[in-house]
Amino acid sequence: MNLVAATTSVPGAWYLAVAAVLFTIGAVGLLSRRNVLVMFMCVELMLNAVNLTFVTFARMLDDIGGQVLVFFTLVVAAAEVVVGLAIIVSIFRGRVEGATADSANILKG
């Protein structure tokens, strides 16, 4: 396995594991929380987990490309935030119950 060959110390895999855990937490959060804002934050968490993975791999593979990718992710995440928040605000503006995802279910079946 090239991973083993490329890394001389154990910690690389640990970072990956941390990233995976973060990603999972994000995913589980998205599934379990009802507030759209929180769900959105969970997505951000997942993206950051990916960022961590990228950086780790970059280190392990000794390839600068992996670190550059993080910048792209950050830009995209920022764009997503802008649009996403706008959508969320426009929908849940003035609703008593707050930004609860469950209140959006006219469409189903």
Partner 1 sequence: MLELVWLIPALPLLGFLILVFGGKRIGEPNAGRLGAAMVGASFLVTVGVFFDLLSRHGEQRSFTRVLFTWLPSGGLKVNAAILADPLSITMALFVTGIGTLIHIYAIGYMHGDERFARFFVYMNLFVFSMLALILGDSFLTMFLGWEGVGACSYLLISFWFERDSAASAGKKAFVVNRVGDFGLMMAMFLIFSKAGSLTYANVFEFAKAGSFTRTAATAACLLLFVGAIGKSAQLPLYVWLPDAMEGPTPVSALIHAATMVTAGVYLMVRIHPLFLVASPNALHVVAWVGALTALFAATIACAQDDIKRVLAYSTMSQLGYMFLAVGVGANTAAIFHMVTHAFFKALMFLGAGSVIHGMHDEQNIKKMGNLRKWMPITFITYLVGWLAIAGIPPFAGFWSKDDILLAAYRDNKVLWLMALFTAILTAYYMSRQFFLVFFGKERFLHDAQTVAAIGPNDAHVRDHPHESPPTMWLPLVALAGLALVGGAINLPFNAKTEFLGKWLESVDLGGRPILAGGALKYGLAAVTVVLGLVGVAIAYNFWLRTNDARAQAALEPALLQRAYGVDGLYSAVIETPGRLLSAWLAFVFDRKIIDGAVNGLGLVVRFAGGKLRKLQTGYVRNYALGIAGGMVLLLAYALARAGIQ
Partner 2 sequence: MLGALLTPSAFLAQTDAVTDRIVTPHVDWVAIAPTMILIGGALLLLLASSLLRITRPPKYLYAGSSALIASAAALATEKHWERVRHGRGGAFIANAVKVDGFSVFLTVAICAAIALAALIADDYLRRERLDGVEFYVLALLSGGGGVIMVSANDLIVLFLGLEVLSIALYVLAGSHVRRAESQEAAVKYFVLGAFSSAVFLYGIALTYGATGSTNLGEITNYLSTHVVFGNGLLVAGMALLLVGLGFKIAAVPFHMWAPDVYQGSPTPATGFMAAAAKTAGFAGLLRVFVSAMATQRLDWQPIVWTLAVLSMVIGSVLAVMQTDIKRMLAYSSISHAGFILIGVQAATQDGVSGALFYLMAYTFIVLGSFAVITVVARQGDAAHTLDTYKGLARRQPILALVFTLFLFAQAGVPLTSGFVAKFGVIQAAVDAHSYALAIIAMLSAVVAAFFYLRIIVLMYMADPEADAPPLTIPLGVGIVLVVTVAFTLFAGILPQSLIDFAKSAVLS
* Binding-residue pattern over the window 7 to 46 for partner 1, x denoting contact by CB under 8 A: --------------------x--xxxxx-x--x-------
Of 1 and 5, the one with the shorter C-beta distance to partner 1 is: 1
- Between CA 24 and CA 46 the distance in angstroms is 8
- Between CA 102 and CA 109 the distance in angstroms is 15
- The first and second tokens of residue 47, run together, are 């993206």
Q: CA geometry: angle at 32 spanning 26 and 33, to 5°? A: 85
Interface positions with partner 2 (CB under 8 A): 1-3, 16, 23, 26-27, 30, 36, 39-40, 43, 46-47, 49-50, 53-54, 56-57, 60-61, 63, 65-66, 68-69, 71-73, 76, 79-80, 83-84, 86-88, 90-91, 101, 104-109
